[in-house]
A and B are shown apart, each in its own frame.
Chain A
């Protein structure tokens, strides 16, 4: 059975639509992912508008990379258990997509940039061949056309002397330049959705600023949407329109970043924000340590063992994700 996967003809990615309530580009609804007995994602829901940027934030182990890998079809059934919905505008439910279906989407409608460019790029092939191969394979370009397009792409991601860089091997480039090459490869086919999994955490802050700006500028230019996996809330407030806060595979709080980060209501979001050092931070109030349980039988809020607001109910019953003051919130006792 083949799934419907094509881009909707009405909304080509190059023209961000301005109609009142356009269908979201991405809909994720009650997405659950399990590995054996472990429930890694527990009913995750969010939507992403065309042209918007969404940040997935939370401590390591929260399930951020798992969401990104599921969205690009690198975690499929039956390797993992998948339930719920994830759909691109116009596509069928991708929870049921097979590798054959994903081959039509991956690199075409959805691309991904990884944290560690040096291991994501193939050390044995030149930058040029890694950049032209998706152009030839996915867009059917000839060798010469692909080479010309590759040079344009490298220039657009800020690599000077692009023609000569085509013959370079990844190890001959700095970390920042490798990340630029990865961005060029990811954008080569004009995807509608770009997934960027901590693309700057291995880089200096100066280079981080360059790379984040580049990703935002290039996706905006193309009318594409972007999901950033980030662990820096301040950076998330600068780069993202929407934020989804994850803990232990559950969505704690989600909404527009200015609303959510200016006045977080969830105890976890508040705790995370209190750990962020700004230049004038005098007192830090660290969250207590602890790691979530992923046991599929845990019925309640996974943050409960670390939560200062926890009620007896929190351990037994999962709080629903409900609209509260301009954002979605899952908490029985959000008061400060």
Chain B
């Protein structure tokens, strides 16, 4: 069987949580659902890099949990190499675990402090039976140098390492099983710019040299632009705009994308008029466009019909009734 070039494919994925009845535990109102994901379509091809951006609460982590098979969609389908992720079994399951590697935001918390760096990095090798015991140390040494750590470090424990070093160990461990795709959730946030710059450069080099796909969740548009050729902007459980990162960021079509761009700090520019309000809870959304309450472009029809994500320009999709394309980007 030939390998499909699409690794991940999400088909109108919905993920709703039951959040009880209005008024609390003993209330008798209708049960309420929180749609953390509300009809998400997304694909990731081999070798591609995609950034997922949006404010907290927009559903990025939920999306990633669906992709990793940690939670199943309440509607729609989530596929890896054309098979339902939550139904993967036997050989398919093993292959999924080998090919999809995760880099967590809390790198230190994700690594067992009682295991040596050697055992941490070798664990995926052992688990998938990827190397002979006699080659183990050499393989770990090679992985550590690949991420810029001295091989001698394998004898040590994470407690003796700096925050930047721990993140490198997490990357080495993720690379151990020669994955097809790296998935990362805010993997460089909360770090000093110097450490962040080192890790981003490393990730980009890895992506270019090893051809590994990257699905990178970040709230930083600069990170998205540096690392990923495609971008998907999320708001309240939906992708509201997607396309090539450089196109989207140089001429956003969706007012929410423009608002994120305006909010990003820029040298010597006056601080732009901030987007008002805060992202609401995805419970009991009003009809119409879910961004209407904060959108400076909102008109009457926005409160009546809910825009779908449609192709609005070559290689570009957006969900807006009054897109900005054609207007100046930073108006």
Residues of A within 8 A of B (CB): 59-60, 174, 176-177, 201, 204-210, 212-213, 216, 231-235, 237-239, 258, 261-262, 271-272, 274-281, 284-287, 289, 291
Contacts and interface: CB of A to CB of B under 8 A. Distances in A.
Given A206-B259, A213-B274, A284 B192 contact: no
Given A204-B56, A234-B266, A279-B249, A209 B278 contact: no
Contacts of B105: none
Contact of A206 (B200, B222, B225, B274): B274
The 5 closest A-B pairs by CB, nearest first: A277-B222, A286-B197, A209-B274, A235-B265, A234-B265
B267 A284 contact: no
A174 B268 contact: no
Contacts of A216: 271
A239 B259 contact: no
Interface in B267-317: 267-272, 274-276, 278-279
B221 interface: yes
Contacts of B276: 210
A233 B222 CA distance: 14
Contacts of B259: 206
Contact count band on B: 35 or more
Interface string B36-58: 00000000000000000001100
B192 A281 contact: no
A240 to B, nearest CB: 11
A279 B201 contact: no
B263 A206 contact: yes
Contacts of B162: 289, 291
B195 interface: yes
Contacts, number: 116
B194 interface: yes
Nearest to B188: A277
Contact of A238 (B195, B265, B278): B265
Given A201-B190, A213-B274, A261-B267, 13 more contacts: A60-B192, A206-B263, A206-B274, A210-B275, A231-B193, A275-B196, A277-B223, A279-B221, A279-B225, A286-B194, A286-B197, A286-B198, A289-B194
A233 B269 CA distance: 12
B274 A277 contact: no
Contacts of B198: 286, 289
A211 to B, nearest CB: 9
Nearest to B221: A279
A204 B249 contact: no
B142 to A, nearest CB: 21
A213 B267 contact: no
Contacts of B271: 209, 212-213, 216, 238-239
Contacts of B269: 238
Contacts of A274: 197
Interface in B217-233: 219-223, 225-226
Most buried by A among B223, B264, B275: B264
A205 B219 contact: yes
A279 B261 CA distance: 9
B187 to A, nearest CB: 14
B63 interface: no
A201 to B, nearest CB: 8
Nearest to A235: B265
Nearest to A210: B274
B260 interface: yes
B268 A204 contact: no
Interface string B76-113: 00000000000000000000000000000000000000
B164 interface: yes
Contacts of B267: 233-234, 237-238, 261, 276, 278
Given A205-B260, A258-B268, A277 B55 contact: no
Contacts of A284: 197, 200-201, 226
Contacts of B190: 201
B197 A280 contact: no
Given A206-B260, A232-B265, A276 B193 contact: yes
Contacts of A238: 265-271
Given A280-B225, A281-B226, A206 B275 contact: yes
B226 A204 contact: no
Contacts of A262: 268
A206 B261 CA distance: 9
A285 B200 CA distance: 11
30 contacts: A204-B55, A204-B56, A205-B55, A206-B259, A206-B260, A208-B263, A210-B274, A210-B276, A231-B193, A232-B193, A232-B265, A233-B267, A237-B268, A238-B267, A238-B268, A239-B271, A258-B268, A261-B268, A271-B194, A275-B196, A277-B197, A277-B220, A277-B222, A279-B261, A281-B226, A284-B201, A287-B197, A289-B164, A289-B195, A289-B198
